[in-house]
Amino acid sequence: IMAMHVVYSPHDLGETTHNDKCNRPQERKQLILDKLQTLPEFHLVEHTAVGAWALAELVHTPGMVAFLRTAWDEWVALHERRDPGFFADNAEVYDMIPSFVPFQVAPRDGLQRPGNSVLGAISYYASDRVTPIYPSVAEALEHDLGVVEKAVALSLSSESGLAYGLTTHPGHHSCRDQYGGYCFINVAAVAAALLLRDGGFDRVAVIDIDYHAGNGTASIFYNDPRVFVCSIHMHPDYDYPFTTGFPDQTGGPDAPNGTLNLALQPHAAWEPAYRTAIADAMARAAAHGAGAIVVSMGLDTYERDPVAAPGAGFAIALADYARIGEVIGGHKGPIVVIQEGGYYLPAVADCAAGVLQGIVKSRSQ
């Protein structure tokens, strides 16, 4: 059986850093690991080395990367200057220091800048109040960078060409200089950049199958002709991120048709909407000449996932995830899968296994 390498860091397994009813990233990682270690198609690779912060600077501004690296320590150092307007509403309190969110999100009108204070920096770099800075966030992100670096290396060196970077935090909502939507560093974008840098490919593609638009990834590569980005998601008229991910956003002047937003309607199911969309995505990636594929694997498309806005949501059944994977696995070059969202914990591991087994099945044929 052709094997897919599953790269993960054990550093935060068993840890809970969010008192959020939906976003439980460490628990999601543990559930997926527990499932995959029982299946013969997967070779688990425990990876304890952290990645260099310079990897994040392949796709993010140095200022935002520096902020993520030091924000918690700077927040702690404010002591009595910690304004309650910056206290997270839904995150744990650590040693009586609340997790850190922006008091307000700065408009992007060209007059804003992060300033010299961590209060200004978080107001500039954060896009919402639901992605808190917590004590071990920098450590988690270093490990996520290490995981994606190792996954890309294994996709390039292994016989199967298949690797899954099981990161703690998703990343696809993070833009070049702004983070949010439970995302900090856009690890899928880092993977694409590494495939270009280390794999010798002229062109690669990112296929985003998360329920929400991969707005950060699209933004980062919007004017980069080397990277085709396709996001299959709920139409932004119905759900987050609401203001981007529209079908008429097709790429910048240097990358015409380099972005494909397949924005589906509420209650989209495998037949016919999703089957057609994933086939279109892979056909366009092939037409782009992508030598390698990055898959942003969000699992919140599941029919019972709790994060959908009222009246929205998809109707993807458990059996459909293997079908999605089989279509993706038709690509002949390296495939790097990166974990994104997925919030219905009783089924998230089975959904992940379905996609990954589908990829392996196609590659083995």
Task: Please choose, from the candidates 186, 145, 138, the residue with its C-alpha nearest in 3D space to the C-alpha of residue 51.
Answer: 145
Backbone angles phi, psi at 313, to 5 degrees: 90, 155
Q: Is 11 one of the catalytic residues?
A: no
CA distance 66 to 60: 10
Which one from 173, 233, 288, 331 is the annotated catalytic residue? Answer: 173
E strand or H helix at 336: strand 335-339
E strand or H helix at 46: strand 42-46
Check if the beta carbon of residue 162 is closer than 8 Å to that of residue 6.
Answer: no
Amino acid at 245: G
**How far, in whole angstroms, is CA 278 from its chain's centroid?**
18
Task: Please choose, from the candidates 294, 245, 296, 303, the residue with its C-alpha nearest in 3D space to the C-alpha of residue 270.
Answer: 303
CA distance 356 to 315: 20
CA distance 269 to 265: 10
Which residues are known catalytic residues? 173
